[in-house]
Amino acid sequence: MTARDILNKLNDQQKASLLCGAGFFSTRQIVEEGIKRMQFLDGGTGMNFEQLFGDIFVKEVVEEGYTREQLDHVIHNFYKLDNLTDEEKTLREELFKKLTDYTGGYEPHPGCYPPGILLGSTWNPEVVYENGEALGLEARMYKVSCLLGTPNVNLLREPRNGRFFEGYSEDPLVGGILGREMVKGVESQGVAADVKHYAANNLEINRSGIDQRISQRALEEMYLPAFEKCIKAGTATVMAAYPKINGVHCTENKWLLEDVLRERWGFEGLCMTDWGACTGDTGDSAAAGIDLFMPGPWNKEDEILKALEDGRLTREELDQAALRVIELGLKYNKNDEKFPIPYDEYIEKGRKACYRADAEGIVMLKNKDNLFPLDDMNRVCLYGSDTLRIYGSGSAQVITDREPSLKEVFGENKDGDVAVVVISLPSAEGTDRKDLKLPDEYRRVIRGLIDDGQYKICLVLNVPGPVELTEFIDDIDAAFLIYYPGMEGARALFDIMSGAVNPSGKLTVTFPERYEDTPAFLDYPDGFTCVYGEGIYVGYRGYEKRKIKPLFPFGFGLSYTSFELEDMSTDKSEYAMEDTVKVSFKLTNTGDRDGAQVVQLYVGDPVAMQSKPVKELRAFGKYELKAGESRELTLSFKVSDIGSYSDDYGKFLIEDGMYDIYLGFASDDIKKTLSFRLREGSPELMLGINSRAIDIMYKPELRKVLEEDIRRTGSDIQSLIDNERYTPNVRINVIYENAGEFNNFVKECHNYLKE
């Protein structure tokens, strides 16, 4: 029976009920019509046991005489039996058996995987895909049909954001390319991917009601592109965000949910709310494009039916939403199917995926006098945190017994000469960080070691995002950024420090010298309005435009070997709008160790009519080379992708003229630069009657022909003169309704470009 056949058997009340979640992470079932319950769960770093137990077992646990407080304590200490009372241990044994039975006889030992920011630091689509596969398998193990927030591609705009660690990058290209690989990996296992939070959910403060004032250009260039790539990659679901955008809640925003998501991008899947994000009338949100309201029990079918009765919601819209829910269940509810691979293979596949991500995503920020790799790991003395923080709090938390402690991996050396200070900072959904400073207890430890003077000092940054290090950076010897690495973080860090693995992680966000230097610093809200005053100048775009030097730039990361770029060239010197620019180069590993390097290609428009960043990332590739090896490589980008959004015309436009190509290993580490010419760009921006008066008045040869055409056609030259004096940004075709008759001027403009 098809989804349409099932839909046709339902009455309006049943259809409306399908749009309303049943449990906190589950959908409605209509058994008599073959519609089964679907289990949703966060998500992007592994199985959230708090959600899983709460959704499946809480009712029967309470009926058995236990309290919800006991259940919560057992969940969070599921693998720390010493923290439980005797009664709680009994409950834990019962839950262990229940979960083992639930999974079909497999004991519960979930994996914990790196969040987006560490996956982003790999710059490797293949690694992200592998982690998506592992997460998909994890979902199949625990009978989860849809992995919520997998991926989270919200732009990393503001480093205080409590969920900063979940996103991939401050650059939409990196976030989009890597996010879509997560979608593909999850979907490859027959599990529905869920891209969130659509759109521009970039802070946690007042997230349910805050009104984000964002320019259309910033939305189009910065905050929407990563979502589009995930849609085109085949994500089954999209999660609408909490905030308002320019006065309209995302869950009620028809432009966002219908015009962009479905009409422009062609999305045919299911759009759900974030949990509790619909704060208005359910029927109005359904009419705006929401298909599923979460969490349950969402007992508001009456609002949907009332909207249908009032005509605010059409029957076609109700049918389409219900149909999407049915289709999702038919395709992704695989609870009756046998787990696809042996249990041991599943465990090892997840471990390898996580380890590879950590090995390629950990970023070496400093290595004075080549302190690392160490010749003897017994030189290490651990200071600071005893254990790594392997996940962020909130939706991303994962309870597991599969992560070794630092002491298990590194040992408990007392006589070493390398002090490794592990700085472990929390970050959580629902609240933002107060600042980017290190807590006093860590600062005292670091300062004490510096003053002592007998140790080499290495910082391990087990943090959610940028932190201020200016106070210590000149006095320490090394620093590794590991973010929240998941279950394999300690092993991967050990292998990098020992030299078994050559570090190749690169920053996908900029680390400032101080928080005040960040582009959005003055725009952090203290109420329910947030103005995105930096516009498109997020991250490195803002630092470069304002000429502010960061502590560590976008794209930065050290290696134990060295690389060189040579022989850079483009396949042509001139291009048209429909062309692809192919950039060839030779990359050589000039050191004595095998290693991987990320080559980053940026494009800049040095003479532009519209305000633009100094340069923007347009392509990248990660390449592994043996010591001494050279490879001939190519990166490419479409000319159509280098346009800028025009508020005047309501679309992307591309200026003609010369463009610069930058090729290097970080945004401030450019090895080669060359240029290409775009002969004819968007007609709206070509010199001619669409030009502003100011664009012509300082070009005497064009100004002269324009005046001649004005007089020849009997028009008033004084209108041009007045506009040049007082309103020079007015366009020629606005000043003169008959501008289409200025043939000689148009011809001269065309010839001007040809010179």
666 and 707 together in one domain: no
Q: In this structure, is residue 721 part of a structural domain?
A: yes
Sign of CA dihedral 26, 30, 32, 38: negative
| Residue 218 contacts residue 611 (beta carbons within 8 Å) | no
Residue 269 dihedral angles phi and psi, to the nearest 5°: -90, -160
Residue 22, domain member (yes or no): no
Residue 39 inside a domain? The answer is no
Given 109, 143, 161, the domain boundary residue is 109
418 Ramachandran zone, left/alpha/beta (phi>0; psi -120 to 50): beta
Give first-to-last CA distance, the chain, whole Å.
Answer: 67
In a domain, 435, yes or no: yes
pTM (predicted TM-score): 0.96
In angstroms, the CA 651 to CA 643 distance is 9
Q: In terms of domains, do 526 and 405 share one? A: yes
Adjacent-strand bridge partners of 663: 601, 672
The answer to whether position 404 is within a domain reads yes
Q: How far is CA 570 from CA 20, 584, 657, 674, in A?
A: 54, 6, 16, 8
Question: Could you tell me the CATH number of the domain that includes residue 499?
Answer: 3.40.50.1700
User: Judging by beta carbons within 10 Å of its beta carbon (0-12, 13-18, 19+), is residue 320 exposed, middle or buried?
Assistant: middle
424 and 540 part of one domain: yes
Last residue of a domain, one of 516, 546, 576: 546
Phi/psi at 565 (nearest 5 deg)? -105, 135
**Count: domains in the chain:** 4
Co-location of 364 and 487 in the same domain = yes
Specify the residue for token string 């749009």: 19
**Is residue 232 one of the residues assigned to a domain?**
no
Q: How many CB atoms lie within 10 A of CB 654?
A: 20
Does residue 704 share a domain with residue 611? no
Are residues 670 and 575 located together in one domain of the fold? Answer: yes
563 vs 569: CA distance, rounded Å:
18
Q: Is residue 206 left, alpha or beta, with left meaning phi > 0 and alpha meaning psi from -120 to 50?
A: left
DSSP 8-state class, residue 23:
B
Is 527 found in the same domain as 379? yes
CATH number of the domain bearing residue 573: 2.60.40.10
Flag residues of the chain having pLDDT under 70: 753-755
In a domain, 224, yes or no: no
- Angle at CA 207, nearest 5°, toward 201 and 212? 60
Whether 659 and 700 map to the same domain: the answer is: no
Which run of H or E residues covers position 725? helix 717-726
**Residues 514 and 574 grouped into a single domain:** no
**Catalytic residue, candidates 55, 211, 274, 358:** 274
Say whether 310 is catalytic: no
Q: Quick one: 516 and 627 in the same domain?
A: no
| Domain interval for residue 747 | 687-754
User: Are both 423 and 528 inside the same structural domain?
Assistant: yes
**3-state SS of 26-77?**
ECCCEHHHCECCCEEEECCCCCCHHHHHHHHCHHHHHHCCCCHHHHHHHHHC
Both 407 and 488 in one domain: the answer is yes
- Specify if 132 maps to a domain: no
Tell me which residue of 117, 114, 123, 76 sits closest to 95, measured CA to CA.
Answer: 76
Looking at 299-416, list the stretches that DSSP marks H as alpha helix, in order from N- to C-terminal side.
301-310, 315-332, 343-361, 406-410
Point out the domain boundary residue: 658, 683, 708. 683
